[in-house]
Amino acid sequence: MKLLSDILYKARLEEIIGSTHMAISSVTFDSRKVKKDTLFVATRGTATDGHQYIDKAIEAGAVAIVCEELPENKKENVTYIKVTDSTHALGFIACNYFDNPSRKIKLVGVTGTNGKTTTVTLLFNLFRTLGYNVGLLSTVQNKINNTVIPSTHTTPDALSLNELLSVMVEQGCEYAFMEVSSHAVVQNRIAGIQFTGAIFTNITHDHLDYHKTFDEYIKAKKKFFDTLPEEAFAITNKDDKNGMVMLQNTKAHKYSYSIKNVADYKCKIIENHLNGLLLNINNHEVWVKLIGTFNAYNVLAVFAAAHLLKQDVINILTTLSNLNSVEGRFQYVKSETGIIGIVDYAHTPDALKNVLETIKDIRTGNENVITLVGCGGDRDAAKRPIMADIACQYSNKVILTSDNPRTEDPEEILNQMQAGVQATDFKKTLRISDRRE
């Protein structure tokens, strides 16, 4: 139980009607989860508005309501708190309710269109191998040391995030590595969270169904860096044309990494094979089991973060050389007959191009490249024809198929993809709606 007055710290309050000297047993923004002595936060989502469920929450036992608009009919013995932004307030309320766990752990956030999952997972595995208790928050899974916790979003909601961080602190985690999505920044899911460091990987065509314009997408990524504290570090990919933009207004210590330009952390690719990369990182040679130029960037970002977290350079490089690739990220499979399969999450035009260019660079020249590609439903439709075109440019044969259509018609998604296929590529393109087939 916590006092309401303590929970509301930094929540940008506009008006309070009622007493804040009351005990709160739980906090929620979902009226279905309200119980006795709950603080209910009415947030406006993309599909529903929590203000419509205020009465239902009170009936279920809510004793305090946080909202952007005060209801006309107010109930007795219920405290109403008007705020400027409910999602922002929820972030700080969640931090306060769980005793600000992000201040008790070294938390590093990774943002960017591609490479987030690989980077946070490599950091997690690196620090686990170095002997630390570590937390992971990623698209694929959340982990506390060896315990897996199911993952539903790239970045959890503010309450779930703080609860997870709280458990990590309780279990002795010194470090946590977390994917930070642009949605999470805009929706204030990380409001109030204190980061020790942040990494920017790259930014390309994605999520324009949500952000509408590329400039809005860039602003969402940049906002994450703008809110970092002075004592934090901010690492950016200097080879991305928007990389240095991320550091323009941050108070944090600024660092860059690069393969093509002068930077604080520099990498040269010496060898690039199907069984790994030989890299020179800041004048140290290291062999890693990851494949492709895009993974050289991921490894370099991991090295930079680990170094800024005061780890020994030789220990970092030795451990990196023993780490395996992340499941579903350029995952290499070879059959008994010599057929090579590569599984990759590539869900953007740039990611797909990176994967296919890597295959082009490491193939011996006489193999046929068959690309199976799909685009998810209820996501940025503009990238669909582009991805089909890229697949055709780099492949001997292309199979267009379904990939989690959600509420959309799979055939319509395939129609949009097929619109990107050039007339000269029709013969090598096959369309199979059922992915299992």
pLDDT tens by residue, 233-252? 999 999 999 999 999 999 99
Rg (CA), the chain: 24
CATH number of 331-432: 3.90.190.20
- 313 has a pLDDT exceeding 60: yes
- 209 has a pLDDT exceeding 80: no
pLDDT band (50, 70, 90) for residue 436: confident
Q: Compute the distance between CA of residue 205 and CA of residue 383 in angstroms, rounded to an integer.
A: 7
pLDDT at residue number 328: 85
pLDDT band (50, 70, 90) for residue 151: low
Domain coordinates in residue numbering, the chain: 2-97, 99-321, 331-432
Fold for the domain defined by 99-321: UDP-N-acetylmuramoyl-L-alanine:D-glutamate ligase (3.40.1190)
- 203 has a pLDDT exceeding 70: yes
Q: Over the range 260-269, which residues count as b (16 or more CB within 10 Å of their CB) and which as e?
A: eeebbbbbee
pLDDT at residue number 332: 83
- 2-97 against 99-321: fold identical: no
Do 270 and 279 contact (CB within 8 A), yes or no? yes
Interacting residues of 231 by C-beta distance below 8 A, sequence separation 6+: 252
Give the tens place of pLDDT for each residue, 90-120.
999 999 999 999 999 999 999 998 999 999 9
Q: Among 13-27, 145-159, 207-221, 392-406, which is the least confidently predicted range? A: 207-221
Do 199 and 303 contact (CB within 8 A), yes or no? no
The most confident of 123-137, 177-191, 316-330, by mean pLDDT: 123-137
Do 137 and 179 contact (CB within 8 A), yes or no? yes
Higher pLDDT: 183 or 211? It is 183
Q: Compute the distance between CA of residue 247 and CA of residue 256 in angstroms, rounded to an integer.
A: 9
What is the second-level CATH architecture of the domain 2-97? 3-Layer(aba) Sandwich (3.40)
- 210 has a pLDDT exceeding 80: no
pLDDT at residue number 364: 76
Give the tens place of pLDDT for each residue, 386-404.
999 999 999 999 999 989 8
Query: Rounded mean pLDDT of 5-28?
Result: 98
Q: Compute the distance between CA of residue 86 and CA of residue 91 in angstroms, rounded to an integer.
A: 9
Q: Among 121-130, 251-260, 271-280, which is the least confidently predicted range? A: 271-280
Query: Rounded mean pLDDT of 69-75?
Result: 96
If you average pLDDT over every residue of the chain, what do you get? 94
Handedness of CA 376, 377, 383, 387 (dihedral sign): positive
pLDDT at residue number 152: 63
Task: Give the Cα-Cα-Cα angle 226, 230, 236 (nearest 5 degrees).
Answer: 55
Side-chain-side CA neighbours of residue 248 (13 Å): 10
pLDDT at residue number 437: 77
The DSSP string of 346-409 is --SHHHHHHHHHHHHHHS-SS---EEEEEE-TTS-TTHHHHHHHHHHHH-SEEEEEE---TTS-
Q: Compute the distance between CA of residue 188 and CA of residue 83 in angstroms, rounded to an integer.
A: 14
- 375 has a pLDDT exceeding 50: yes
Amino acid (1-letter code) at residue 316:
I
Query: What is the greatest pairwise CA distance in the chain?
Result: 78
pLDDT at residue number 154: 57
Do 37 and 26 contact (CB within 8 A), yes or no? yes
pLDDT at residue number 212: 55
Neighbours of 291 (CB within 10 A): 25
pLDDT at residue number 211: 42
